[in-house]
Structure 1
């Protein structure tokens, strides 16, 4: 009885976002894959920069970002609000708003450079070979169409020759994947709970059997219990369908639950990228280290959380040196005058001049 209660308490704490994450979850819930391992590169991001035009100014939302996502990887993209995570995701999907554009770089998704594609060509692949689960499910679903109608439309775009019977079979199968009953087909979005709407969004993203899926803050607007349930659903789907995925979040705990690699972004730049257990146990970038210390640690209840002093830089102004330098306790003169290039450090890529000093502390 006591063991059962402790187990439930432990599980509940994990669901509430208390940081069992990098101490415990990072090595126990995700099957760790060897770095490289000769797998196919599903996504290759090469020196990508994205700008927003706001009046007479340009916002440097993403700046010279490069990394790869291999087959069956689940990469967590983390950072503070305004770090460029969602902009990068929408760039990958070619869903940027009219005032945004690619300054430079290329994105190879399943071998195709989507940056150079025309919109009508992108539509042939978007939602079929790759898809996204948006963070605000209520805004992403049409309020005047039933769930079944919206799922049928998603199927018809890429599989127009399916019969009604085949479509309904596929819709039921996909809803079953996310543990929703068939009656949901007849319902409108306002008749669903927040968790059910998020499951519908996941089902819509999976309806055409894509090879790559982006989960953009998929649990942010949900209560903690529902968050835990959705995380479990995503984790099961990734395993059962052998999905390659990217999970965008500001919550290190979410990443520790379902990812095997982590990309840390700050002010539009990539700070650190590598295997989950390496990044969260032995961070090599000062920002990664500070981000981890700003989360509560369930296994160290006496340890104080430490906020990161200062604010994000103004991304409309030209930036000289490291973007994190004004907030970094390790910063020296070179950090303010030169921009550190990402370099390989073992299994990781780190953009920092002070890697050795961080490693020693």
Structure 2
């Protein structure tokens, strides 16, 4: 299986005059062609920072990035600005939360799409661009007439569909959706997720979906990575991790989310708050909030149990110390 992305000991640190904030720490991850990986965790766990770092959109003067991020054979961390510009949209694309707000309100949708398309195809004709985007608009269940409309003439769900269509203009090898459906109502969210699944099959797409919503991951992803305070706690197939979670943090997330099937049960919140990420901790980062924590959890980092497929379990309950 072709490997699209591989992170090795990937770190992202925010820096200012007074302190450092360790936003992503020693991340190891593998994504194969055709995978749909959901990254789940609380707000502030580093999910969006990871996505922004992969796209090299973080401010260089206040950010330190170390480790490697091999994307289709190239280490993203070492690419020049020119190389990055050639890669964005064409090989690596992103749809942000409320990305429809990035559309200019005074220009027609088609005008904006033409400008973006010509970044990589400067000599493309309007007919060529319209033919391509008409096909993509149909994929996201929109008619070609949207091309000649202004953003204010579309609903939020339609604008988000336009943003997804734009991200697919050049058939990127990896699409990152960062909370792309969070701002939408449940019905529209479900419709867009259905369209995304349809697009995956038709375009042979590889996808990372960043979300808080376990139901989104369970219905639209084949793999899941659980992230907490900048670290991956558990990575595996969705059917395994969600049905038989091993890490206490994964269990806590699932117990705080209502199930539509089976017997009703009381929702249980995870006590406590995210740790101060400007500090480095000797033990497990989740230990202060973990109901299963032992003495060694506060004193030593757990040994990460990793497989050749890139799966992970980061917990003292299942492994020894480093």
The normalised TM-score by structure 2 is 0.95
Helix, strand or coil at the partner of 1:340: coil
| CA deviation map 1:285-334 (0-9, x unaligned) | 11011111111112234311111001000111222211100000111111
How far apart, in 2, do the equivalents of 1:211 and 1:194 lie? Answer: 27
Matched with 1:17 is: none
The one of 185, 191, 194 aligned to 1:232:
194
Q: Residue 73 in 1 paired to residue 35 in 2?
A: yes
Offset at residue 248 of structure 1 (A): 0.4
Aligned equivalents of 1:51, 1:164: Cα separation in 2: 43
- Pair 1:297-2:248 in alignment: no
Q: Taking structure 1 as reference, are residues 175 and 90 closer, same or farther at Cα in structure 2, changes over 3 Å only? A: same
- Contact preservation (8 Å) 2:15, 2:64: no
Aligned to 2:52: 90
Which residue is 1:349 aligned to? 312
Counterpart residue number, 2:175: 213
Mark the CA change 1:279 to 1:346 in structure 2 (over 3 Å): closer, same or farther. Answer: farther
Structure 2: distance between partners of 1:229 and 1:198 = 12
1:139-177: CA deviation from partner (whole Å, max 9, x where unpaired)? 222222221111111210111222222122112122112
1:265 aligns with 2:265: no
CA deviations on 1:19-50 (whole Å, 9 max, x unpaired) are: xxxxxxxxxxxxxxxxxxxx111011111110
- Superposed, which structure 2 residues align to 1:191-206 within 5 Å? 191-206=153-168
Give distance in 1, aligned partners of 2:29 and 2:257: 26
- Tell whether 2:85 aligns with 1:123: yes
Structure 2 CA distance for aligned equivalents of residues 238 and 102 of structure 1: 34
Name the CA distance, whole Å, in 1 between partners of 2:250 and 2:63.
Answer: 28
Normalising by structure 1, report the TM-score.
Answer: 0.85
Q: Are positions 1:59 and 2:21 aligned together?
A: yes
Which of 141, 160, 163 aligns to 2:125? It is 163
Give the whole-Å Cα distance in 2 for the aligned partners of 1:227 and 1:283.
Answer: 26
1:54 shift after superposition:
4.3
Is residue 186 of structure 1 aligned with residue 148 of structure 2?
yes
Which whole-Å CA distance do the structure 2 matches of 1:145 and 1:53 have between them?
38
Which sections of structure 1, spanning at least 5 residues, go unmatched? 1-38, 357-361
Q: Which moved more, 1:309-318 or 1:133-142?
A: 133-142
CA RMSD of aligned residues (A): 1.6
* Alpha-carbon distance in 1 for matches of 2:112, 2:122: 14
Give the total of aligned pairs: 318
1:103, CA displacement in angstroms?
Answer: 3.4
Gaps of 5+ in 2: none
Contact 2:65-2:77 at 8 Å conserved across structures? no
**Match for residue 5 of structure 2 among 27, 43, 47:** 43
Q: Partner of 2:93: helix, strand, or coil?
A: strand
Contact 2:46/2:229 (<8 A) preserved: yes
